[in-house]
Amino acid sequence: AQSVTQLDSHVSVSEGTPVLLRCNYSSSYSPSLFWYVQHPNKGLQLLLKYTSAATLVKGINGFEAEFKKSETSFHLTKPSAHMSDAAEYFCVVSDTGTASKLTFGTGTRLQVTL
């Protein structure tokens, strides 16, 4: 069975400092991994996805994530946080064969302070 574990339920950073949101995954197959963001009262938006093409994945708004098979990790990073980055972030896994069935992590709430 596939699963993801988001290691931090809440992360607080100052504007202009780096962001690191941690995610470990478990999958029986070669996984597809995603990061989604959810702003208050808005739908989920895809930040980036990994589908075995390249281990370092660049997404929108300056976010990127690195797939590390040996560590079963897919951490999300951004060099410099912006106030508009404050939101809930979800790490998501999808196994080959049931690709439309997404399994979500519990979410990490990112707070950005001045």
Applying CB under 8 A, among 3, 16, 18, 46 the residue interacting with other proteins is 46
Residues 10 to 29 in contact with other proteins, rule: CB under 8 A: none
Nearest CB to other proteins, comparing residues 70 and 100: 100
CB burial of residue 74 (10 Å; 0-12, 13-18, 19+): buried
How far apart, in whole angstroms, are the C-alpha atoms of residue 5 and residue 44? 18
Residues at the contact surface with other proteins, assessed by CB under 8 A: 32, 36, 41-46, 49, 51, 90, 94, 96, 98-107
